[in-house]
Structure 1
Amino acid sequence: MLVYAIPALLAVNLWTMLRFYQDKQRAIVGRRRIPEADLLALAFIGGTPAAFAARRLFRHKTRKQPFTTWLWLIMAIQLGVAIGFAIYAI
């Protein structure tokens, strides 16, 4: 299962990074933006590391509320699930 999970997570994180970059570029030129719900959905399906990295790298959505709160909540849920799986595996 890990053989499929790692490439899938890598792909989701690359896609998340790209979408944050695209949204930043659209914001700069005043074009239609990528909905926050789409960015949060990418984080939810595994792109949380890239979402946090992109926010810092592109200086994008760093002060935006409630986006920041939702992103931290998603990370906390994912961390809880990971800990639960780790405990179950022991």
Structure 2
Amino acid sequence: MHAFIGAYLLLINIIGFLSMFIDKRKAINHKWRISEAHLLSIPILGGGFGSWVGMYTFRHKTSRIKFNLGIPLIIAIQLILIFLIFGRLY
């Protein structure tokens, strides 16, 4: 079970990182973009760290408050929930 969770988190964070890269490239080339709702759904699904790293690596969406504050807030809430859930289990 832990291996599955670890593999899922690795994959979703890679997707988050790559989605920031792809959207940045599309913005530079004036192409069809990935929606902000989709970009924010990835952190909610567990890809917050990858999205956050991608955001700053590619300097993409860093001036948008909902990304600049929202993604770290999502990560913090998820970490608190993990601590509360696993703190009671062990």
Shared topology, TM-score over 0.5?
Answer: yes
Query: Residues of 1 paired with 2:66 and 2:11: CA distance?
Result: 26
| Count of residue pairs the alignment pairs up | 90
Query: Residues of 1 paired with 2:50 and 2:20: CA distance?
Result: 9
Percent of aligned positions with the same letter in both sequences? 32
After TM superposition, the score normalised by the length of structure 2 is 0.90
Query: Residues of 2 paired with 1:23 and 1:7: CA distance?
Result: 24
1:16-47 alpha-carbon deviations (Å, 9 max, x no partner)? 11111100001101112111111111111110
Query: Residues of 2 paired with 1:13 and 1:66: CA distance?
Result: 19
Q: Following TM superposition, where does structure 1 have runs of at least 4 consecutive aligned residues deviating by more than 2 angstroms?
A: 65-70
Gap runs ≥5 in structure 2: none
Aligned position for 2:2:
2
Which amino acid in structure 1 is aligned with residue 66 of structure 2? P
Aligned position for 2:36:
36
After TM superposition, the score normalised by the length of structure 1 is 0.90
Measured on the aligned residues, the alpha-carbon RMSD in Å equals 1.2
Query: Residues of 1 paired with 2:70 and 2:53: CA distance?
Result: 16
Aligned positions of 1:40-59 closer than 5 A:
40-59=40-59
> Retained in 1: the 8 A contact 2:52–2:72?
no
Aligned positions of 1:7-86 closer than 5 A:
7-86=7-86
